[in-house]
Amino acid sequence: MKKEEFAELFFEEAKKEGREFTSQGNIKCPNGKNISKKKLEDLFEKEKENCINIDSNKLQSYKIESCCSEIFKEISKKIIK
C-alpha cells in the first residue's frame, strides 16, 4: 500500500465512523492536535504496516498526540489487513 492510499483509506474509515472533522478537513482530536493526511503519510512511509502496533510516545514523534492514539490504532487495524 502506498502512503497516500493509507491516508485516504484512514480518512474514509474515520468518516464512516462519524468522526468529527475540522474546517480544513483534518480529523478532530480531543486536545486540538488534529490528524492530517500529511501526518498519516509521513508515519506510514516510515512505519509501514507496523504502524498498527506503534505506541503513543512514538506517535508523538509524528505529531499525533497521545489523546489520538486509540483513534489511530482503531482505524489503522481496520484498513491494514
Residue 70 is placed in which grid cell?
486509540
Domain boundaries, the chain: 3-79
* Dist CA 77 CA 9 (whole Å): 11
Q: Is the pTM of this model over 0.85?
A: yes
* Dist CA 54 CA 41 (whole Å): 15
Q: Which residues pair with 21 in a beta bridge?
A: 27
For 30, the 3-state DSSP assignment is: coil
Contact 47, 41 (CB under 8 A): no
pLDDT given for residue 31 in this prediction: 78
pLDDT in tens, 24-44: 999 998 777 899 999 999 999
